[in-house]
Amino acid sequence: MNLITEKLHRVYLAIALVLVIPDTFYWYSLDDYTSFQTTFNAITGSTGLTWLLVSYLALFFAIFAQKLEMRAFLTVVAIVTRVYFLVWITDIWRANEVSFPTLLKNVFIKTNDAPYIELFALIAMIPLILSLIIQKTRVANFLTALINFLRQPENRNHRIGFQVVSGVAYVTSAYIMITTLIDYYDVSRGEVNSGLNSTLIWLLILGIISIALKLLILTLGLIALLWAWISWKQDIQLVLGHLKDFKLNEYLTLKVAGYLYTFYFILVVGLVAAGVPIFAATTFGLNQDYSVFPMVAVAGLLIGFLALLALRLIFELAIAIVHIAENTKNNLRR
């Protein structure tokens, strides 16, 4: 049986998503995260929770993305952020000075008395990588299209702007990360007081790998911004040009409403995709009441569907009101 076929790449993504759910959301079962503010503070305050959630959402949206290039790009994001998390958690256990076998067990199999969530996440890398191998041509075509866009003479200003923004971002980020690593190394060396030992060597190795992965994530972010600008620049220029004269014709109204609806659609779906597992984990735990999770998932999907339906009705009503106002204004002028 051929495992590297076009028809299977979406199946691999779905399998990987199911396998990373325990590792992504188990930690919310250790405290009460039913409050939105508490959850937000926990996610933004923890490097691990942040990148686990980013990887999960990238994988989630990759499954449902209609554009094949977008699906391939999100697959790359999911893999890179997952690898960065593994490097980060490895450095955490290194700093705790656990033995090497214990470190490997905690990172790739299970942590203390917790379930085997790390093992599931490790297995998830197999279908993720298989999916990326299948989509490698799309990734190459996507990058080639962006490079060709920047090389075109009429896009010279875009090329210069992208180079300036990228250069500033790379130099600033690299300087901050390298300085932080050097300071961390100096502090650790002062605590060891025995020259260069294995602990400091691993600190440097993991630190350098972490910097490289952060720069790769920055590159993905810059690529996403460039892609968004290429896709939206004509519409943005059109909208800004009409707004200067305070003109909102029917086409423009639909265009703006379409973008706003798409933005809020993605926001609502993302909140449901992350919020439902977090609520289930913090309320019922991930090591008990397994039968509850399907019911919570169905309830979450129903709530998300109703929210999207209400959102669509609001936008349709807003567009209708604008059209009625425009028609009334035109009739009064006559």
Q: Quote the crossing angle between the two packed helices 198-244 and 250-284, to the nearest 10°.
A: 150
pLDDT over threshold 90, residue 221: yes
Condensed to tens digits (0 to 9), the pLDDT of residues 127-173 reads: 999 999 999 999 999 999 899 988 998 888 889 999 999 999 999 99
Give the pLDDT of residue 109.
92
Decide if 264 is inside a domain.
yes
Domain that holds residue 318: 248-334
Decide if 183 is inside a domain.
no
Q: Within 10 A of 23 (CB to CB), how many other CB atoms are there?
A: 24
Give the pLDDT of residue 176.
96
Instruction: Report which residue type is found at 293.
Output: F
Decide if 262 is inside a domain.
yes
User: What's the token pair of residue 175?
Assistant: 């300087």
Q: What is the largest CA-CA distance in the chain?
A: 90
- Per the model's pLDDT, the better-predicted residue between 270 and 300 turns out to be 270
pLDDT over threshold 60, residue 262: yes
Give the pLDDT of residue 326.
59
- Per the model's pLDDT, the better-predicted residue between 73 and 1 turns out to be 73
Could you tell me the pLDDT band of residue 57, with boundaries at 50, 70 and 90? very high
Decide if 255 is inside a domain.
yes
Condensed to tens digits (0 to 9), the pLDDT of residues 18-31 reads: 999 888 888 877 77
3-state secondary structure of 114: coil
Decide if 275 is inside a domain.
yes
**Average pLDDT over the chain, rounded to an integer:** 83
Give the pLDDT of residue 248.
55
Ramachandran angles phi, psi of 195, nearest 5°: 75, -160
Decide if 164 is inside a domain.
no
Could you tell me the pLDDT band of residue 293, with boundaries at 50, 70 and 90? low
pLDDT over threshold 90, residue 67: no
As for how many domains the chain has, the answer is 1
Give the pLDDT of residue 190.
75
Decide if 72 is inside a domain.
no
Decide if 314 is inside a domain.
yes
Give the pLDDT of residue 323.
62
pLDDT over threshold 60, residue 246: no
Instruction: Report which residue type is found at 106.
Output: N
Side-chain-side CA neighbours of residue 136 (13 Å): 6
Condensed to tens digits (0 to 9), the pLDDT of residues 169-213 reads: 999 999 999 999 999 888 887 776 665 677 788 889 999 999 999
pLDDT over threshold 60, residue 329: no
pLDDT over threshold 60, residue 251: no
Provide the whole-model pTM.
0.86
CA proximity to 213, closest of 333, 96, 90, 111: 90
Give the pLDDT of residue 133.
92
Cβ-Cβ contacts under 8 Å for 272 (sequence gap 6 or more): 300, 301, 303, 304, 307
